[in-house]
């Protein structure tokens, strides 16, 4: 077996890491993982309160999911997208069955960014318009509409895509961009702001509104009552495609199959990845309404990927959805949020002056840390890095020392364990978080 020092040496010498200044990082070598835990090479065990990148919804190394991948690998490891394949078809059918309304077809990708790229492409070609409206405080993936850089005819139908992203403010009652004093007011003002943005951009230029149903990395921002229904109405009024990005919020994370089910709203396109198979293999996709699919009945869809609908990835999605159903994982996630995480975090908030707000649902919660509860000044500034981020780094270190692997973003800790975490493990993790927050309190008034 490779030694820890070899793993570290290979990594430092040859692996170029995402989002990082390569000389300033020291990635922890991980040896193994199981359920809600992973272990480093010294045998140190961490309770994974991050689900890695909020994707291991089913937990680490679920034996039945591993077995399904092994079985498929032995049978047919890969086949090109142009063929029909049993697991690809079954995965698409199962996803269509859980999707709302008439979202009946699935275009598979390797992950979330490609799902959003293709959803935008579909919306643009369906409407013949080019602008995409998305919110500040959102993340939709890190590809840059790569097709515009392509030098062959596959570029031609995609040429308008390099332009036209317009940002607007979504609702965020705790730091209302609209100076609202209640969630109802926030909904009403956020919808008016969206409408004004569309009117001033020119409704005939707007192809899509792309929204995270519940904003993930940028704060677990749960939409206030009526917001998503209002967005649906605005989209219908102006002929705009509503794309719900459920890459992080979907597949159990919010205690629903799709988070949007919580609000009974049907978008035109849903993008997914992460929880669909917990990232055991790379997989994402777009769930497509009948109306948008019809646009591409006679006209070819100008997009594709060598690994679209990869049999191994699709077999893992089928197995994962079956396990979710048989083990009641969606219901479990909802109950954990309602019965344990929500009540515990509210108690924690009362004890710690550094906690400004806790919010969330299912196994998707944020603890927002502040220097001062009255002014709501964040514990670290927006986009803080280096010494400015020291208070958050200290809280994260306090968690890790106690065996809890946290998810930290700006001035927030996110409580995002696997949907399969047990009540006991969850309580243990929350107790560690409670202790670690005393470190944050030292920076707070």
Directed axis angle between helix 227-238 and helix 183-201, to 10°?
20
CB of 372 to ligand PLP, least distance (A): 30
Asked if 247 and 272 touch (Cβ cutoff 8 Å), the reply is yes
Query: Of 103, 113, 240, 396, which lies in the binding site for ligand PLP, with binding defined by CB under 6 A?
Result: 113
By the rule CB under 6 A, 248 interacts with ligand PLP: yes
Query: Of 87, 131, 140, 359, which lies in the binding site for ligand PLP, with binding defined by CB under 6 A?
Result: 140
At 372, give phi and psi (nearest 5°). -150, 120
CB of 120 to ligand PLP, least distance (A): 12
CB of 306 to ligand PLP, least distance (A): 16
By the rule CB under 6 A, 269 interacts with ligand PLP: no
Query: Of 38, 50, 51, 112, which lies in the binding site for ligand PLP, with binding defined by CB under 6 A?
Result: 112
Cα separation, 291 vs 434, in Å, equals 49
CB of 387 to ligand PLP, least distance (A): 27
CA 113 to chain centre: 11
Alpha helices in 374-422 (DSSP H): 390-401
CB of 115 to ligand PLP, least distance (A): 7
Asked if 384 and 392 touch (Cβ cutoff 8 Å), the reply is yes
CB of 256 to ligand PLP, least distance (A): 15
**DSSP code, position 134:** E
By the rule CB under 6 A, 287 interacts with ligand PLP: no
Directed axis angle between helix 423-441 and helix 390-401, to 10°?
140
Directed axis angle between helix 86-98 and helix 311-327, to 10°?
40
When the beta carbons of 186 and 245 are compared against ligand PLP, the nearer one is 245
By the rule CB under 6 A, 243 interacts with ligand PLP: no
3-state secondary structure of 297: coil
By the rule CB under 6 A, 313 interacts with ligand PLP: no
Query: Of 117, 245, 256, 268, which lies in the binding site for ligand PLP, with binding defined by CB under 6 A?
Result: 245
At 240, give phi and psi (nearest 5°). -100, 145
**Element at 203 (helix H, strand E):** none
By the rule CB under 6 A, 139 interacts with ligand PLP: yes
Q: Which of 216, 215, 238, 219 lies closest to 228 in space, CA to CA?
A: 215
CB of 383 to ligand PLP, least distance (A): 17
User: Of the ranges 111-119, 152-160, 171-179, 199-207, which one interacts with ligand PLP (CB under 6 A)?
Assistant: 111-119
Query: Of 35, 111, 223, 267, which lies in the binding site for ligand PLP, with binding defined by CB under 6 A?
Result: 111
Q: Which of 350, 351, 322, 348 lies closest to 413 in space, CA to CA?
A: 348
By the rule CB under 6 A, 247 interacts with ligand PLP: yes
Asked if 353 and 445 touch (Cβ cutoff 8 Å), the reply is yes
When the beta carbons of 133 and 398 are compared against ligand PLP, the nearer one is 133
At 370, give phi and psi (nearest 5°). -135, 160
User: Of the ranges 198-206, 230-238, 241-249, 340-348, which one interacts with ligand PLP (CB under 6 A)?
Assistant: 241-249
By the rule CB under 6 A, 117 interacts with ligand PLP: no
Query: Of 171, 216, 353, 360, which lies in the binding site for ligand PLP, with binding defined by CB under 6 A?
Result: 216
User: Of the ranges 40-48, 95-103, 139-147, 348-356, which one interacts with ligand PLP (CB under 6 A)?
Assistant: 139-147
Residues whose CB is less than 8 angstroms from the CB of residue 9 and which lie 6 or more positions away in sequence, other chains included: none
Tokens for 184, please give them. Answer: 């109802």
Tokens for 177, please give them. Answer: 């961009």
By the rule CB under 6 A, 273 interacts with ligand PLP: yes
Number of residues engaging ligand PLP in binding (CB under 6 A) = 16
User: Of the ranges 26-34, 67-75, 106-114, 381-389, which one interacts with ligand PLP (CB under 6 A)?
Assistant: 106-114
User: Of the ranges 75-83, 189-197, 212-220, 323-331, which one interacts with ligand PLP (CB under 6 A)?
Assistant: 212-220
Asked if 230 and 191 touch (Cβ cutoff 8 Å), the reply is yes
Q: Which of 256, 435, 277 lies closest to 338 in space, CA to CA?
A: 256
When the beta carbons of 112 and 311 are compared against ligand PLP, the nearer one is 112
By the rule CB under 6 A, 414 interacts with ligand PLP: no
Asked if 240 and 203 touch (Cβ cutoff 8 Å), the reply is yes
CB of 286 to ligand PLP, least distance (A): 12
Q: Which of 118, 56, 85 lies closest to 312 in space, CA to CA?
A: 85
By the rule CB under 6 A, 212 interacts with ligand PLP: yes
CA dist 228 → 163, 188, 209 (Å): 26, 11, 11
Contacting residues toward ligand PLP, per CB under 6 A:
53, 111-113, 116, 139-141, 212, 216-217, 245, 247-248, 273, 284
């Amino acid at each position: 077996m490779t030694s820890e020092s070899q793993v570290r040496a290979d990594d430092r010498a040859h692996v170029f890491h995402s989002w990082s200044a390569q000389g300033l990082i020291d990635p922890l070598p991980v040896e193994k993982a199981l359920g809600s835990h992973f272990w480093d090479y010294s045998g140190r065990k961490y309770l994974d309160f991050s689900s890695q990148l909020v994707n291991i919804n089913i937990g680490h190394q679920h034996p039945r999911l591993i077995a399904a991948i092994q079985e498929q690998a032995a049978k047919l490891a890969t086949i090109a997208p142009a063929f029909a394949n049993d697991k690809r078809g079954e995965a698409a059918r199962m996803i269509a069955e859980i999707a709302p309304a008439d979202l009946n077809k699935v275009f598979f990708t390797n992950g979330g960014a490609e799902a959003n790229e293709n959803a935008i492409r579909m919306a643009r070609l369906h409407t013949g318009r080019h602008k995409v409206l998305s919110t500040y405080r959102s993340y939709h993936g890190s590809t840059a509409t790569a097709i515009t850089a392509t030098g062959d005819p596959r570029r031609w139908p995609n040429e308008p895509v390099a332009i036209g992203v317009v940002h607007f403010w979504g609702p965020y009652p705790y730091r209302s961009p609209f100076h609202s004093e209640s969630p109802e007011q926030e909904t009403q003002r956020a919808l008016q702001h969206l409408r004004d943005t569309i009117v001033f951009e020119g409704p005939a230029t707007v192809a899509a509104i792309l929204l995270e149903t519940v904003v993930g990395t940028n704060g677990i921002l749960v939409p206030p009552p009526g917001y998503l229904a209002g967005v649906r109405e605005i989209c219908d009024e102006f002929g705009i495609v509503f794309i719900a990005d459920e890459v992080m919020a979907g597949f159990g994370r919010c205690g629903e199959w799709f988070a949007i089910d919580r609000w009974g709203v049907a978008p035109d396109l849903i993008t997914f990845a992460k929880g669909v198979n917990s990232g055991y293999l790379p997989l994402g996709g777009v769930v497509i309404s009948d109306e948008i699919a019809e646009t591409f009945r006679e006209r070819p869809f100008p997009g594709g990927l060598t690994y679209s609908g990869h049999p191994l990835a699709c077999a893992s999605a089928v197995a994962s959805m079956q396990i979710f159903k048989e083990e009641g994982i969606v219901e479990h996630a909802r109950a954990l949020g309602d019965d344990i995480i929500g009540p515990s975090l509210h108690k924690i908030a009362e004890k710690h002056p550094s906690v400004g707000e806790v919010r969330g649902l299912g196994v998707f919660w944020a603890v927002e840390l502040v220097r001062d509860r009255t002014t709501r000044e964040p514990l670290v500034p927006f986009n803080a890095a280096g010494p400015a981020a020291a208070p958050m780094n200290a809280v994260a270190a306090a968690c890790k020392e106690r065996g809890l692997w946290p998810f930290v973003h700006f001035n927030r800790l996110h409580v995002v364990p696997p949907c399969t975490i047990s009540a006991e493990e969850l309580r243990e993790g929350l107790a560690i978080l409670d202790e670690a927050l005393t470190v944050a309190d030292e920076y707070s008034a």
